[in-house]
Chains A and B, each alone.
Chain A
Amino acid sequence: MCRLFALTSLKPVSPMLAIKALDVMKEGHDGSGVGLLLQDLGGPFEEMKDAPILSGIFSEEGIRRLDLFMMDQGFLTKYKISLKIPKKAVEGIPKRDLYLIRAYELPEGWDNLEQDEISSRLMMTRLKIREMGEEKKDMMVFSFWPDTIMIKEIGDPMKLAEYLGLDRKELSARVIMAQGRQNTNYAIDLYACHPFFIKGYCTMTNGENTAFIPIKDFLSSRDFPGYMGYQSDSEVFAHILHYSMAGLGLGIDAYKHVITPLQEEALKKHPDANFLSHLKKTCRPLIIDGPNCVIGVLPDHSLFMVQDRKKLRPGVVGGKPGLFGFSSEICGLDAVIPGRDKTKDIQPMHIDTAIVSPDRQEVKICRQTESLNLPL
């Protein structure tokens, strides 16, 4: 089973905090890999919130092709972090040429574009780089988005963090998501590694999505180029989140109504019964199944956790004003926020969505039986 840890903090913190949590929870994962998302960045990136940051892994040849491509598109490098890799190989970690974290200036012609158009172009640029990389196996790109860094690699999380030197002052963030263990269903593929990112929405999951194929079929047929990949059955959670919020204009309070709608009796009693009954019918292929604990972040840096319909996976949210952690195991939370009031820890149940908004003052529980903020 995967281990998940996410935190949201008023002050930027080092990703090592989350790695520490994964290390404490190590008993439950096989140490086969780690995926990291850093958002609402501190350090040098604080000054360049609008500059898209490209995160990925490149071979020497790949980086040359990338540079040519980006220059051709009109992107100029604004800032980069070089992860110095030790010369001596570490067992269990593949040898790579370059882990790229590079912020770009937007091309000149983009100045007057609407934000939506810029977002779309950034996504298309990422997809193009991914496509080029898949052709020659020389580039992997995890995100290309402002104020966002993603690192994914195979290996034990703590060893990897030391290997990549993640404990450095340029790397700090107010929102961090970390997942331990790769997808074990198929051959290990870094594109199958959580968290999954799409246009500012990001999720990671502890579970198994048994309704994967019909959901994938539905998303793939939405005529939206970003709904692709699907090396992991959990990638659809991020895409459903994006579809329901960006595509349908719903709030995070409705996400659970999309993935695990209420059954008939409860639905009838709901204050928004009519709307929800329509939502349930029209979004039926997006209903998930199997055991799943989903932790996600929204473009406004809110963090949330939801469980499957039967609450088959563990998950806890706790902390104190200014710092909250979302963890698949309590020991992970204990390791990172030991001084919190544990009586206020929350383990979201089958109809709950636990949300910590960007002010990081409290955990808000949104129950599926409560009325919604409707986009009507």
Chain B
Amino acid sequence: MSSNRKLEPSSLSLNDLPWQIHYNNNRCTLCGQCTAVCPVKAIELAVFRKRVIKTSVQKNKKHSSEYDTFYGIRQKTRVENACIGCAMCTMVCPNDAIAPVKNPGLDRLKFHINQNGIPRRRGGRRNSSRSVLDRIKFTRISMLTDPALDAGRHEFEMRTLLGRVLSPRENMKRLKEKGWIPPVREIYPLIIGGMSFGALSPTMWEGLQMGVAYLNEELLMPVRISTGEGGCPPRLLRSRFLKYVILQIASGYFGWDEIIHAIPHMKEDPCAIEIKYGQGAKPGDGGLLMWHKVNKLIAAIRGVPRGISLPSPPTHQTQYSIEESVAKMILSMSMAWGFRVPVYPKISASSTSLAVLNNLARNDYASGLAIDGEDGGTGAAYAVSMDHMGHPIASCIRDNYLNLTKIGKQNEIPIFAGGGIGKNGNIAANAAALIMLGASGVQIGKYVMQAAAGCVGTEEDRCNVCNVGICPKGITSQDPRLYRRLDPEDVARRLVDLFISFDTELKKIVAPLGRSTSLPIGMSDALGIDDHAAAERLSIKYVV
């Protein structure tokens, strides 16, 4: 702009943007790859004008003032083109001439991403690297009084149960009387949480399914994956691999017409049915798939028209109470599969989750409870929901587990924890801490995207454009030009890497604690934290 022209309120300078492009003109070959790859068109080829003034003190020498031009990369400052820091430009640059750098100053863009009155929506994460889970240490090390075990050579049983486990007496009674015993699955405690076909690209989804099948069939690790709310491809529904899949139903019921019609043709029962009542990233808000991603394929699987946004309501519209929800939804889902498939609700962590749990405890058909904490990720949500709504997972899980021990049902309703596990890369330590606080297992989503597909998101508001289908890695895009960047085979291989390395790390945690015969659910005596208030809140040791 010129200094004598008016400014718009949302006229921003480079200094106002959270990410700034550092560009080296000397190394640039002007190949154009960076401008082509940028998902938000934050950079463009520009002509720069340069004035060269030559003056001299010598009397006879002439002074000169010449204008020159050169070509280079310019960063745009419009709100909609603000750099998201994904660094795809860096990735494609043959000469290392360009890179986004986080602006250490105040992000003033934040005040302007509400143009036309639409608040910021994004995908990704909460963008807070603080983590109580990272601060929990495992302090009960087996030393001399009992030998530490060998993570590499000893036998370990790191499995968990998904399903309603009756009390030993009641189970014995029903065995004698040949009564109905709720279905229980023995599964691996690290579960791939619900990321829908639609939120994820076809290549990502295929890669995950292939990886899960490999883990089960070749490595005998009973890993399970939730579909998220968006249905399930018809071929998978009719295949033997369905037994590794947890079908999710949520308030939009997307894809369930297809699923219901496939029931008579199913060769295997699904692992379980997850009824989503809430998710940690946007608690109390429904699911959202923005129109950008609703292409022909997605529309067909979900049974909706193309190109429209698909918001699921915040609640299941036919239900008005928890009792009704349990009675109606859980029971009817159980009935659909002849009471052979565990059915459990997934809720966002909340200070009211105990009421949900207590209600489930009274009903044999409720197979568990998945709780998603505030650090849970999402494909699309309002930023305000992600940043400010929700409950931390650690204390929520602990409260629920301790409540179960109080009523003696700690083995009967498994609690699964989700949200922020491994958000700073410490997946096994975070998972083990939650298990020892009382979770029967953990659900991960963002970590899978990062480790298995190279998602560039970080807790520093990097990228986070999963909602609009322009994922530069092709993970959450429905645009073939983008998702072709991702090879399903590679995703599968990396998923297998992830699980094998997690398994080794988990053993490296439990072996020194002297545990190997069963998953140490609720082994809170092993835990310590260097914060007195947190220790007291979680009923674990305070260590300094």
Q: Which residues of A contact B (CB under 8 A)?
A: 184-185, 207-208, 210-214, 217-218, 220-223, 243, 247-249, 260, 263-264, 275, 278-279, 281-285, 287-291, 308-310, 312, 375-376
Instruction: Report yes or no: B165 in contact with A282, Cβ–Cβ below 8 A.
Output: yes
Of all A-B residue pairs in the complex, the 8 with the closest CB atoms, nearest first, are: A208-B146, A221-B408, A210-B514, A287-B518, A282-B168, A214-B522, A290-B514, A282-B171
B161 beta carbon closer than 8 Å to chain A: yes
Closest to A219 in B: B408
Instruction: Report yes or no: B514 in contact with A285, Cβ–Cβ below 8 A.
Output: no
Q: Are A217 and B410 also in contact (CB < 8 A) when A248-B169, A283-B168, A309-B517 are?
A: yes
Contact of A211 among B184, B523, B524 (CB under 8 A): B523
Instruction: Report yes or no: A184 in contact with B165, Cβ–Cβ below 8 A.
Output: no
Contact of A213 among B172, B518, B523 (CB under 8 A): B523
Bound-state CA distance A376–B174 (Å) is: 10
B498 beta carbon closer than 8 Å to chain A: no
Instruction: Report yes or no: B520 in contact with A214, Cβ–Cβ below 8 A.
Output: yes
CB distance from B243 to the nearest CB of A (A): 16
Query: What chain B residues lie within 8 Å of A211 (beta carbons)?
Result: 515, 517-518, 520, 523
Contact of A278 among B175, B407, B517 (CB under 8 A): B175
Query: What chain A residues lie within 8 Å of B80 (beta carbons)?
Result: none
Contact of A289 among B161, B176, B407, B514 (CB under 8 A): B514
Query: What chain A residues lie within 8 Å of B410 (beta carbons)?
Result: 214, 217-218, 221, 285
B154 beta carbon closer than 8 Å to chain A: yes
B513 beta carbon closer than 8 Å to chain A: yes
Range for the number of chain B residues in contact with chain A: 35 or more
Per DSSP, chain B at the interface is loop
Instruction: Report yes or no: A247 in contact with B169, Cβ–Cβ below 8 A.
Output: yes
Bound-state CA distance A282–B518 (Å) is: 13
Query: What chain B residues lie within 8 Å of A249 (beta carbons)?
Result: 172
Instruction: Report yes or no: A223 in contact with B408, Cβ–Cβ below 8 A.
Output: yes
Instruction: Report yes or no: A248 in contact with B172, Cβ–Cβ below 8 A.
Output: yes
B55 beta carbon closer than 8 Å to chain A: no
Q: Are A310 and B154 also in contact (CB < 8 A) when A211-B523, A214-B523, A284-B161 are?
A: yes
Query: Which residues of chain B (180-227) have a CB below 8 Å from chain A?
Result: 181, 184, 186
A-B contact pairs, 26 of them (CB 8 A): A208-B146, A211-B515, A211-B523, A212-B525, A214-B410, A214-B523, A217-B522, A218-B410, A218-B411, A221-B405, A221-B410, A223-B408, A247-B168, A248-B168, A263-B155, A278-B181, A281-B161, A282-B165, A282-B166, A282-B171, A282-B172, A284-B161, A284-B518, A289-B520, A291-B147, A310-B154
- Known: A278-B171, A281-B161; 8 extra A-B contacts, CB below 8 A, are A218-B405, A221-B405, A282-B171, A289-B514, A289-B518, A290-B146, A290-B515, A308-B517
Instruction: Report yes or no: A279 in contact with B518, Cβ–Cβ below 8 A.
Output: no
Query: What chain B residues lie within 8 Å of A264 (beta carbons)?
Result: 159, 186
Bound-state CA distance A375–B513 (Å) is: 36
Interface string of B110-148 (1 = CB under 8 A from A): 000000000000000000000000000000101001110
CB distance from A286 to the nearest CB of B (A): 8
Interface centre among A263, A279, A283, A289 (most CB of B within 10 A): A289
Bound-state CA distance A287–B405 (Å) is: 16
Contact of B146 among A210, A222, A243, A283 (CB under 8 A): A210
